[in-house]
Structure 1
Amino acid sequence: MKFIKLTAISAAVMASTAAFAAEPVIVVDEADAMVYEAEPAAVAYEAEPVAVAYEAEPTNTGVIGKTAGAVRNTTGAVVGGTKTLFNTAINPASVSAEAGTLGYGANIGWSLNENTELQAGWAGGDVADLFGGDFDAGDVNYDVDADFSNPYLGVQLRPTGNWFTVGAGIIVPDNDIDVTANADGGFFKVDGQQYNAAQTGTLEGTIEHRNKLAPYGTIGFRPNITNNFGLFGEIGAAYMGKTDATVRAVNADSVVSYTDSNGDTQTTTAGDVAKKAEQELEDKDWLEWLPIVKVGATYRF
């Protein structure tokens, strides 16, 4: 009887083991859920899920999705950068008022970083008195009447991070300079020859610089008085180029007498005297290098 019981128990254990072995095994991969019967080990090697894993496309789809997301992020960055530039353009860092040899004017500044500022401004008006109001060309003295217009674009640097500044940029000059000759002792002395001023009459003309774009450079200081308010001063020069001059006599046909080098009295016309004066004036190249001296005040936002 004991033998029969032991045999029955062994059979039950073996049946349970076989049942467990016969239970289906579920294998899940990213593509499909595969059901395999728990068969001999060789069946595991014959199964094809590995190949299916390589054939499945979700992995590529995932990569494409990530790439698309990267593109979307890049687009957002570009748009964000554009907004930053736009905000910078419409929100300047400072405004300044100035007065100097370029004229009276103002400028707007945009901070590119802590030590660099882009400036756009204009200066002009009648500033002839800042240059003395007159000058000599040869032996003729000329009174000056000027109407300056000097829009400019430049960069202001703080190379040492303090009050010291270095500036550079371009001026677009549109300056009207009118001149009137002054007689000396009743004569105009032109090209070494004295001409009767009463017979010559009034000699007047204009000067125009040839440069349509004038580069400039300055050094200066910009101390801050408060968090928002500051002062500045600059010195430098702008290359305006050589000049084209025009001198005319009010009565060009008027006869003018003069004494030549032999002591003989000769005659010419007021127009001829004006042409000789024009050549001397053009050779003068007045303000070929326009000095820049200016002071002003700045308000920072």
Structure 2
Amino acid sequence: MKLIKLTAISAAVLASTAALAADPVIVVDDNAAVAYEAEPVAVAYQAEPASYAYDANAGVVSNTTGAVVGGTKGFFNKVVNPASVSAEVGTLGYGANIGWSLNEKTELQAGWAGGDVADLFGGDFDADDVNYDVDSDFSNPYLGVQLRPTGNWFTVGAGIIVPDNDFDVTANSEGGTYKINDVSYNADDVGTLQGTMEHRNKLAPYATIGFRPNITNNFGLFGEIGAAYMGKTDATVNATDPDSLVSISNGVTDVPSGLTAGDVANLAEQELEDKDWLEWLPIVKVGATYRF
């Protein structure tokens, strides 16, 4: 009977002191005192579904999933939402570029310029004593960076051009002759000398300086000058009838007999390659920019 009473009293005390379950409970019955130690109460917690990483040095928990997703979203937004678009005209051709601002002083650019711009170089040039008319077909995709080192309108640019520029050339006779290596060849015998030229560099580094003033919050103008290293030129020159014999018109006697129009074309071709026309292509361009 005493045992039953003791058990009932103990259960009641334990139920009413759940918050103090970790402390011992003392039950007094008549002269007997008995101490019972309560079992710890188990509490279940449900973990958050997000992925977390603990930084032992900082002593904080950060949500790495959100950081990765947010960073990727920010990069994607920058790529598909450029800072500016520009239209340009200059010695590289007519074209446009897109810019992405990295910070207040740095902007990445990707663009293209091309077309027939031979008239910008005068439309002709001289290789020693032979004058050539030029038609050009430019294609100059480029990737570069524009810096504002002083934080104002002054700019410095650098980058790489992937040139694919072709020049069609036609020799002009003077006084009925083509003078090559100080020898005058009869133009009627040689016929028309025509050919092509292209630069050897597949990648052409460039550098520019310029100005980019803002006219309004969105619109601005720019101008740049500089140069691109295009490398040496490869030339091909052909005569109308390469097998026709050619006479000398200035009385030179040490020219080998049996000289043909094809031989004269080869001599003109060598002069063009020695000329290295536009090995350093000057860059002069102007344009307008719209900023988003």
TM-score of the aligned structures, taking structure 1 as reference length = 0.79
Query: How much does 1:28 deviate?
Result: 6.5
Which SS does the other structure have where 2:133 is aligned?
Answer: strand
Query: How much does 1:192 deviate?
Result: 2.0
Matches within 5 A, 1:89-108: 89-108=79-98
Task: Name the residue aligned to 1:69.
Answer: 52
Task: Name the residue aligned to 2:22.
Answer: 34
Q: Find the partner of 1:279 among 267, 270, 292.
A: 270
Distance 1:290 1:69 in 2: 56
RMSD of equivalent CA atoms: 3.0
Higher percent of residues as helix: 1
Q: In structure 1, give the amino acid aligned to 2:280.
A: W
Give yes or no for the alignment of 1:154 onto 2:144.
yes
Q: Find the partner of 1:238 among 208, 211, 228.
A: 228
Task: Name the residue aligned to 1:121.
Answer: 111
- Structure 1 or 2, whichever has the larger Rg, is 1
Q: In structure 2, give the amino acid aligned to 1:284.
A: K
Which SS does the other structure have where 2:265 is aligned?
Answer: helix
Distance 1:286 1:242 in 2: 8
Which SS does the other structure have where 1:77 is aligned?
Answer: helix
Deviation string, structure 1 residues 154-181 (Cα, Å, up to 9, x no partner): 1111010000001111111111111111
Task: Name the residue aligned to 1:288.
Answer: 279
- Tell me the number of residue pairs that the alignment of Structure 1 and Structure 2 aligns: 266
Q: Describe the shift of the 1:108–1:263 C-alpha distance in structure 2 as closer, same or farther (beyond 3 A).
A: closer
Distance 2:190 2:199 in 1: 27
**Please, which runs of 5 or more residues in structure 2 have no aligned partner?**
1-12, 28-33, 55-61
Q: Describe the shift of the 1:263–1:154 C-alpha distance in structure 2 as closer, same or farther (beyond 3 A).
A: closer
Q: Sequence identity, in percent?
A: 73
Q: In structure 2, give the amino acid aligned to 1:69.
A: Y
Q: In structure 2, give the amino acid aligned to 1:227.
A: N
Distance 2:155 2:77 in 1: 26
Q: Find the partner of 1:174 among 164, 180, 193.
A: 164
Query: How much does 1:77 deviate?
Result: 0.7
Q: In structure 2, give the amino acid aligned to 1:98.
A: E
Q: Find the partner of 1:249 among 223, 239, 252.
A: 239
Distance 2:51 2:99 in 1: 40
Distance 1:89 1:228 in 2: 19
> Is the Cα contact below 8 Å between 1:26 and 1:34 reproduced in 2?
no
Distance 2:23 2:206 in 1: 83
TM-score of the aligned structures, taking structure 2 as reference length = 0.81
Deviation string, structure 1 residues 203-247 (Cα, Å, up to 9, x no partner): 011111111111111000000111111110000001111111111
Query: How much does 1:265 deviate?
Result: 9.0
Deviation string, structure 1 residues 109-146 (Cα, Å, up to 9, x no partner): 11111111111111111100111111111211111100
Give yes or no for the alignment of 1:218 onto 2:201.
no
Distance 1:195 1:67 in 2: 86
Distance 2:267 2:251 in 1: 15
Distance 2:186 2:258 in 1: 10
**Please, which runs of 5 or more residues in structure 1 have no aligned partner?**
1-22
Which SS does the other structure have where 1:34 is aligned?
Answer: coil
Q: In structure 1, give the amino acid aligned to 2:85.
A: V
Task: Name the residue aligned to 1:18.
Answer: none
Task: Name the residue aligned to 1:78.
Answer: 68
> Is the Cα contact below 8 Å between 1:95 and 1:300 reproduced in 2?
yes
Which SS does the other structure have where 1:268 is aligned?
Answer: coil
